[in-house]
Chains A and B, each alone.
Chain A
């Protein structure tokens, strides 16, 4: 099974306000987008497993014109707390790269 890194040309993460993190997965082409955009491997359970987020609050959107899947989740601790390791959440995407898609 291909990974996110195999089928996307760009993956990024960033804060969406102090309490949310958002990912944008830019698929390489329309075929890859069509085949994998709804993959269960990109579902709320995965985001819960990787980031501890409440799966009921995880949001997921498909933007076919851009061949993009957007996933957003609430942080388990607010931006900038005592245990902050990634103030802008700009490195959180790395944990998505190796997810195998089906």
Chain B
């Protein structure tokens, strides 16, 4: 089994969800998303972020606004649409279910592992 592949699959699965949850908190500039995720110890490259944002925007979940900046040309800020909020709600629900499920399963597994260890000893 390709562990790296599975890891990247896992990360990929939650990436959009994480980004949506950041944007859901309010209008945001892409590099701020990177910063916020870095704080949460999730590293993402801007080069990966932009295509994701564009896809989400094209899917109608996000929208953007040009905001004047003090230095240089206006910057693109992303906001969530109503559709995006609905989608986020569903994803959040799924995540919670999955988190509990995964927690339960992993705990069970560790428990049984402990039990078997005990039995062996």
A joins B in a complex: no
Give residues in B with beta carbon < 8 Å to A: none
Give residues in A with beta carbon < 8 Å to B: none
